Amino acid sequence: MDTPALYATAWAVMPPLIAIVLALITKEVYSSLFLGVVVGAVLYAGADFDGIVNHVLQDGIIASLSDGWNVGILVFLVILGIIVALMNLSGGSKAFGAWALRRVRTRVAAEIATVLLGIVIFVDDYFNCLTVGSVMKPVTDEFKVSRAKLAYIIDATAAPVCIIAPVSSWAAAVSSFAGEGEGISLFIRCIPYNFYALFTLVMMFALIFMKFDYANMTQYERNAIENGDLFTVEDANAAAADAADAGSDKGTVLDLIFPVVVLVVSCVLGMVYTGGFFDGAGFVTAFSDSDASVGLSMGALVALVIIIAYYTIRRTISFSECMSCIPEGMQAMVPPILVLTLAWSLKAMTDSLGLADYVSGLVEGMSGAAVGVIPAALFLIACVLAFASGTSWGTFGILIPLGLAITTSHPELSTPIIAACMAGAVYGDHCSPISDTTIMASAGANCNHVSHVSTQLPYATTVAVVSAVSYVIAGYTSSPIIPLIVGVVLLLGVLFFLRSREGSYRVPETANINRAAVE
């Protein structure tokens, strides 16, 4: 393809910027993403109508759907949707929800249980989003936790947890961008400096125990608690998914736990298999060298066969009923797959316009600035790039090599610099409307996607601002302890200030009543 006249200029930011702004204004994600793709094609091809159409279809949608990595992720999502449909039909999700309701007696406990489950499922963010949502919806619904709040908790325990878990698909991705032999050791050294991920966990626990919400989330939580409306913004896809989740009354807790355990084990084995574990490579090395797309889809497929056999042998579900879950599970995944396809196409547009090279130029231009602010500057640039492109792993690929190049002249800052690149990428993945993880969190909670984005963005940005301050401090200290302490204190101070303001919403004590436990 010829290099367009606007390549690697500020115009490269326009397609994702237009898509994001339109999505937030119109609260409609499909047309917003498509218009972003079209704008990208117009900037690329100019007044050539054939060139615009070909760039949208051939270089955008078709190329995205024929990419091996993307296809593997779509296969994984479809199989995951089928497994979720099987668990719901068996009554396993319903039985677990009833079991949990008899033990979870407060709203705080319900939200904490959701957080802890999200932390436990750290292997992959996609698996995390859909599994946690399916399991915890009955519990959070009982305490009138809005679907927007549930989606936030799910999303905040997906990418931010994966980026500090050495045994995860994210550790493998980061390792692949580092130098030979540096991968997993560099990842582990960066964990204490990954301020955004660590502060996100602090943020969640603080909001839950302080029993308040602020910014856009207040409308959703107030409406859920006072009016019993968990959605606020109606969503036909969410309503249909909820209806499909009803399940039977003959399931047991084991009908949920067994499939989840099988799925986790199979996905882990699938990932280390692709990394050469069964050919003699060590477990950590195999995870570092794994192909997450192939490994997850392979593991999910094996798990699906085992789960169908399990339900059939136990006669929880007949074989014909299991087969009926295949189209049902695929149908449930159509909305997130459509959004993912358009998001990938939008990324293809920004790639063709040289967004990565534009950002690289900014990074190289600022490398001569005061040494101490380099980690904070890289963090902010990574935030913008990941938010605009919707990809954290793509941001890893752009900024981590640049960060490593900068550290050759400033070796004392190597760990905070690489950690800053990772943390900023996670912020974008966490809250960008076109991020696949954000899309999956909406699907997992059966929440309107724009509702999730608009309520989560103020929370994520609060953490990002505090993290930037900590990276400034980290640039002038040789230890993560001081910036961590300062960041936690600053974050809690900000939350106490916001809680005291008139616009915040404090959860009333009556919202803690658990009718199932009382009965």
Instruction: Decide if 238 contacts 336 (C-beta within 8 A).
Output: no
Assigned token pair, 248: 């039977």
Whole-angstrom CA distances from 515 to 104, 228, 519 are 11, 14, 6
What would the 3-class secondary structure string for 256-321 be?
HHHHHHHHHHHHHHHHHHHCCHHHCCCHHHHHHCCCHHHHHHHHHHHHHHHHHHHHHHHCCCCHHH
Instruction: Decide if 122 contacts 161 (C-beta within 8 A).
Output: yes
Q: What is the pLDDT of residue 24?
A: 64
Query: CA-to-CA distance for 275 and 284, rounded, in angstroms?
Result: 9
Instruction: Decide if 166 contacts 192 (C-beta within 8 A).
Output: no
Burial of 214 (0-12, 13-18, 19+ CB in 10 A): buried
Q: What is the pLDDT of residue 455?
A: 95
Query: CA-to-CA distance for 310 and 329, rounded, in angstroms?
Result: 18
Cα pseudo-dihedral 174, 268, 123, 350, rounded to 10: 50
Beta bridge pairs of residue 505? 213
Instruction: Decide if 425 contacts 196 (C-beta within 8 A).
Output: no
Cα pseudo-dihedral 236, 239, 241, 247, rounded to 10: -160
CA atoms 353, 359, 364, 369: torsion sign: positive
Buried (b) or exposed (e) across 39-73, using 16+ Cβ within 10 A? bbbbbbbeeeeebbeebbeebbbeebeeeeebebb
Beta bridge pairs of residue 506? 212
Coil, strand or helix at 506: strand
How distant is the alpha carbon of residue 479 from its chain centre?
Answer: 29
Q: What would you measure as the largest C-alpha separation in the chain, in angstroms?
A: 70
Matching residue, tokens 């927007």: 148
Phi, psi of 212 (to 5 degrees): -150, 165
Assigned token pair, 40: 């990208």
Query: CA-to-CA distance for 257 and 90, rounded, in angstroms?
Result: 12
pLDDT in tens, 116-150: 988 887 766 776 777 788 788 888 988 999 999 99
Q: What is the pLDDT of residue 180?
A: 47
Assigned token pair, 299: 């593991």
Rounded to 5 degrees, what angle do the CA atoms 298, 301, 302 make?
90
Query: CA-to-CA distance for 140 and 156, rounded, in angstroms?
Result: 16
Note down pLDDT in tens along the chain; length 519 residues: 567 888 888 888 888 778 777 766 776 667 888 898 999 999 998 888 888 999 999 988 998 888 887 788 788 878 878 887 888 788 887 787 778 778 888 899 999 999 998 888 776 677 677 778 878 888 898 899 999 999 999 999 988 888 887 766 566 556 655 654 455 677 888 999 999 999 999 999 999 999 999 999 999 999 999 998 899 887 666 655 565 555 556 778 888 888 888 887 888 888 889 888 888 887 777 776 777 778 878 988 999 999 999 999 988 888 998 999 899 888 877 877 787 788 778 878 888 888 767 766 665 555 544 667 889 988 998 898 888 877 776 677 667 766 776 676 677 778 898 899 899 989 988 888 888 788 888 888 888 888 999 999 999 999 999 999 999 999 888 789 999 999 999 999 999 999 998 788 988 877 665 544 434
Phi, psi of 506 (to 5 degrees): -95, 130
The total number of residues shown for the chain amounts to: 519
Query: CA-to-CA distance for 475 and 471, rounded, in angstroms?
Result: 6
Rounded to 5 degrees, what angle do the CA atoms 59, 60, 61 make?
120
How distant is the alpha carbon of residue 313 from its chain centre?
Answer: 35
Q: What is the pLDDT of residue 192?
A: 94
User: What is the number of other CB atoms lying within 10 angstroms of the CB of residue 381?
Assistant: 22
Q: What is the pLDDT of residue 98?
A: 78
Q: Does the predicted TM-score (pTM) go above 0.85? A: no
Q: Give the N- to C-terminal CA distance of the chain in Å, as an integer.
A: 67
Q: Which helix (H) or strand (E) covers residue 505, if one does?
A: strand 505-506
Q: What is the pLDDT of residue 516?
A: 47
Nearest to 145 by CA among 98, 102, 112, 103: 112
